Structures are given as C-alpha cells and as structure tokens.
Amino acid sequence: MTGGPLDGLDERQREAASALRGPVAVLAGAGTGKTRVITHRIAHGVDTGAFSPGRVMAVTFTSKAAGEMRGRLRALGVEGVAARTFHAAALAQLNYFWPTVAGDTAPRLVDNKVRVLAHAADGIGLDPDIATLRDVASEIEWRKVTMRSIEQYAAERTQGVGRMPVERVADLQRAYERLKDERRQIDFEDVLLACAGMLEAEPKVSRAVREQYRHFTVDEFQDVSPLQHRLLDLWVGDRRDICVVGDASQTIYSFAGADAGFLLDFARRYEDARVVRLETSYRSDAPILDVANELMRDRPGALHLVARPAAEADADAPADADRPTVNAFADDAAEARAIAAAVAAQIRSGAEPSQIAVLYRAHAQSAEIAGALAGAGIASTVLGGRRFFDVPEVRQAVMALRGASVAPLQSAFVDAVRDVLRSLGLTDEPPQAGGALRDAWEARAALLRLAEEAPAGSTLRTFTDELMARAKAQHEPAMRTVTLATLHAAKGLEWDHVHVAGLAEGLLPIAYATTFEAVDEERRLLYVGITRAARSLSLTWARGPRDRQPSRFLREIGTRTLRAVGASGSGGAATRRGGSASASARVR
C-alpha cells in the first residue's frame, strides 16, 4: 500500500473515513465515491489500530459488491475483513452454530421456490400457472422480510394474486411452509429469520457473534428490510460501532420490503451520530446532475449533487449542445430507430460501445431496441440475461483452451489463445449484422482480450484456471457491446453515454403505480437511470397507438435543464415544473 488510507480523498470523504468510533451515517449521492469511502475507512481503522480486520463485518447486498469490496481492501493492504451479503453472513452463522444448538446439521436450502410451491399447490388441490406461482413466491418473500405472519398478511392484503383470492394465497403459503418442514428445508428468507431467531433464543450464540464482530459497516442502507435491520440489531447488540452508507433517492426496492426510513431515521435513533453528506459527483457532468437534482427537488432525504471540480469549468460554458436532451416520436419503432442512430453516431465519434447504455422500465421494451441496434450493425448485450460464462460459445472455448493446455506451447501464449479461438470461429473482423453470430464473436473476442491483459508469464493452464475462478466469482469481462438494461438492473453501474427510453405515462411511471408512494418509487428509478450517465444523457418517449402522454417526470424536470430536439414526426420538450401541459413534449 502506497501512502496512507486517507490519501486522495476529498474533504468530505476524508471526514467520513476518519470517523472510526460511534454511530456514523454517510449520506452518499450517486457517483460520490461511497465504496471508496467505505474501504478507505476500514483500511484507516486497521492502519491506526482502531480496527482488527477479523473483527470487522462489512455487509453488502450482492455477492458482486462483496467481492469488489474485498478486492479494494486487498489493494489497500487489508486482509481478513468479513465482507459479505446479509444472507451469506447469516448462512455461515447458521451452519456454524446449528449443530451445537440443535444437535444436527442445518436444514437444506430450497433451490427452487416455485417448484416447491407447485408441489404444495398439488397437495391442497390447486392448479395455478407458473406466472401465478412466481407471484406467490414474491408475496412470500415480501411477507417474510417485512416480518409478517401468514395471518397478518391475509388480514392486510386486499387483493389476491391473479385470479387466486387472498384466502387461497394464504392457504398455499401455509401448505408451502408445511412441505418445507416435512422436507427439512429452509428458503432464502428463512436463513435470515432462523439466524435472527437463534441469536434471540441462544445467549451463548449472540455473545459469540458479538465477540467476533466489533465493528459494522452496511452499504446501501436505504435498501435494508425490517428483517435485515432486526438481524443487524442482533449482531451489533449494545455496541455502537456501526457505520451505514446510503442514499434515500436510490431506494428502488420498496416493493421487495426495502425501507429507506431506517437510513432517514438513523440520526434520530442515535442522537450523537456523526452524519457526513457526500454530494460531489465524480461520475456525471454538471448538466446531467442538474436534471437529477431537478427531478428529486424537495424529496425526503434528497442530496444536492454538484460536479467534480474538473467538470465545473465545462459546466460554466454556455454550450447548449452539452445539455441532456428530450425527444418524442410517433411510435416505439421510430423511437428505437432514433436511439440506434444516436448510438451509431456516438460510436463513429469514438465512443466505445461498452460505454453506451440504453435503459428502460420493463424487459419487454428491449426487443424493439435490440432489433433496431442489430439493424444498424451494432451489437448489444441485455444485462441480466444469460451470464457470460454460461454462454455456449464461452463454455466451448474454455474447454478447448483447457484441452490445449496439456500440450507444450508451440507459440507465444496470446498467439496460442488466438489460434484456439480462431479454430472455433473467431475472425479478425466482426460479422456486419447483429444477432447470434455477432454475439458469439463478441464473446470469443472478450476471451482474447482477457488473454492480452493477462500477467506476463501466463500459460494456457494458468489462464483457464483464472477463467474458471472468474466464472465462480461471477467476475465477467467487459463486452464491447452496447448494454441494454432495465432501470433496476442498471443500479450500481455507470456508462459515459446513457439513453433512457419510454418516458411516457404508463411506462414510467408504470401503469400500476397508482399511489403516491408507488409513483415516488418510479421517480427514484428514473433518478437512478439519469445518474448512471457520465458524459451524455438522452431521454425519449413515443406516443404509440394508444396516444400516450409524456411522463409527468418530464414536466417536473422542465426545459431549464433539458434541451428539446426535433425528429421526423416528433418534437417539443417538457415544460417547467408547474407550467402548462400544452407546451409539453408532443408529436406534431
């Protein structure tokens, strides 16, 4: 590690990373370096002797985020910190303590909730379709993470699932729980419930856990559910060394039980808490931040993002071309073609395809956009689709490289990898069109780039070992393709150029968002999409056959921060907040 852990941090980041004792809340806006602050704070604590690495638990929400945190800590010279998801930490504790507490091994995890639900439905004479079973599975997850019994659930819910009334949904949930008990299985949410129950019922277990972990850090604290918060309380006990990091404006999982109230109320719960606000964005240029700030103006817990100093000079220039744009189209096909044309222009101007993303509210919107991109000869990858190492061409290539590794190298390492990939169909130039052939080419090309970036002295054997380790850790290489993603899937990621499609009423906010709370969640989704962009942002919508109207969010953002651009059969921009709807974006 070169220099100290506080080197390279700005004033607010340094303040947060230096606060090592007592309750600390870091309110970190999009792109303000929250992961950097978390890891440097832990490293500073270890460096000063305030923390022992083995006594620190850093909790994240995804395995990928936990892996990234461990990697950053290693780069700072810190090993031994337990950087885990809530579920991974709880499962490890269950497996460790269960034999002592119950005299037996811990129950097996349910590997497919829908399949168990289908068997439970058979047992009580129900025959729901797969879609209904999936929705019931989601209801079970919500009920458990919000810590409701089946009886409470049945009393509070006013609507059933599909054509299944609430009473039958409750019956199915009871049957599901009975079947799990008979099979001695627990599901994903039961892991948290069982761990919390064990800590509450067994003082020797809670003492052991609290002795092991003295210092807690929780990332994305706005996304904790009541169950996760209860478990965290049990882990922390009477100690006060807890640091939470989050942004209320990025709460987009309320439907799954997330409750930003825990973040917003932290300073009230701990009256002596140190609260640090990170509002300098190191990701987005000032015009993009203006749009984000306008969208979230006056919302609870909203931070006011400002551009990093290097971008402020650009923001002072009156170059209207740098302002994010809004455009309207006659139909979805025209919108998709216009997005594809804009992406093509960005690529011709030197942008890397991997630094361009098209975001939308629902998966169904991706097909039209992917087709338009393919028609323009632009390869795209749908985020959240098949994992890279599950792609057949990738599996085939890894096996071929593994097979080639048993023979002595006849050429340089990278040349040997290239030869194997060429034998499987890799060419010097990609296929002109999109589609399956282009997808296969991009996957093989990504493997070749990994070989070119491998350390000196690599062999086919060490390279394939690294590929297998990457597959296990879900550490996927960057594809040189345009990314298509839902707004939910885009959280935590960033691109230089972002196009947000479908900004029409019924799509964003989505039609079933009928309450104030639901619409506010849709607002936060758009905020997440906007703040993924670093250099450029475009917002589009299409009227379509049902005469859609522009999203209310466009009207609220207003023309002060968005530049209206015309297109064939389209035009206009959103009005200022509170302005006349007659001036809002419309198809001519």
Which parts are annotated binding residues?
28-35
Residue pair 246/253 in contact by the 8 Å Cβ criterion: no
* d(C-alpha 575, C-alpha 554), whole Å: 7
Identify residue 296 by its one-letter amino acid code: M
* DSSP label of 520: H
Nearest to 62 by CA among 78, 84, 81: 84
Structure tokens belonging to residue 489: 């899937």
The CA–CA distances, whole Å, from 495 to 8, 87, 394, 428, 529 equal 23, 29, 25, 27, 10
The 3-state secondary structure of 391-452 reads CHHHHHHHHHHHHHCCCCCCCCHHHHHHHHHHHCCCCCCCCCCCCHHHHHHHHHHHHHHHHH
DSSP label of 582: G
Residues in contact with 548: Cβ distance below 8 Å, sequence separation at least 6, in sequence order: 504, 505, 506, 507, 541, 542
Q: List the binding residues for ATP.
A: 28-35
Distance CA 46, CA 67 (A): 19
Judge if the upstream peptide bond of residue 509 is cis by omega within 30 degrees of 0: yes
Q: Which two tokens stand for residue 530?
A: 């906007």
Cβ-in-10-Å burial (0-12, 13-18, 19+) of 414 comes to: middle
Residue of 135, 167, 138, 143 whose CA lies nearest to 154: 167
